[in-house]
Amino acid sequence: MTIRAFIAVDVSISDTFFEFQKALKDTGARLKMTNQNSLHLTLKFLGDIAEEKVYEVEKAMVRSVDGMQPITGCLRGTGVFPSEEKIRVIWVGLDGAESILDIAESLEEELERYGFDPEERTFIPHLTAARTKFDRRGGPDPNISKILPVVQDFSSKEFGELRIDRLKLMKSELTPQGPIYSVVKEVAFF
């Protein structure tokens, strides 16, 4: 049996995050907002993995945070992926927690030992605020151009403090109402 899995850390957000989402929604663009109950910072998406691989993933998580102290930072700034011309994801950034980059790099190396493919894209720590929806008829969204001014308006805002002291291996069950997340394993920093 397989599970759809990823490694993440918890985040705490301020009301500014919801103000950002509301401003995005008010543009009229076709967007899917991230549910506040499923907010997290993903360090590594694993995809579908065999349940037998959970032990190996847990060992990689333990090794990647060995000797780490808790990390503090701030959710600050906004942007879009992959580009301003082709917006797919609207995000909030992470500021002042450079150690999270070291953990992500270590996770990549440790997981590769167990046969997981390394990520081809550069890791950019972020919290997804919304995703653009595709029109089934293929037509352009006339309101998509209204997103960038909102992103720019919030680009210097603070969205919450961050204290990272554990990694979580999460299971994602896809449903018509959106994904349901549950914790499979948790590794605290030592």
Decide: 92 and 20 in contact? Cβ < 8 Å.
Answer: yes
Cα gap 12→95, rounded to integer Å: 14
Which ranges constitute the DSSP H helices of the chain?
Answer: 15-25, 54-64, 99-113, 147-153
Q: 107 is written with which tokens? A: 């996770």
Name the β-bridge partners of 161. Answer: 74
Decide: 34 and 130 in contact? Cβ < 8 Å.
Answer: yes
Q: Is 40 a catalytic residue?
A: yes
Evaluate the omega torsion of the peptide bond into residue 82 and state whether it is cis, within 30 degrees of 0: yes
Q: Which amino acid makes up residue 82?
A: P
The catalytically annotated residue of 4, 40, 146, 157 is: 40
Q: Is 126 a catalytic residue?
A: yes
Q: 108 is written with which tokens? A: 């990549």
Rounded alpha-carbon distances, angstroms, from residue 15 to 93, 146, 147: 16, 22, 19
The catalytically annotated residue of 44, 76, 126, 168 is: 126
Report the catalytic residues. 40, 126
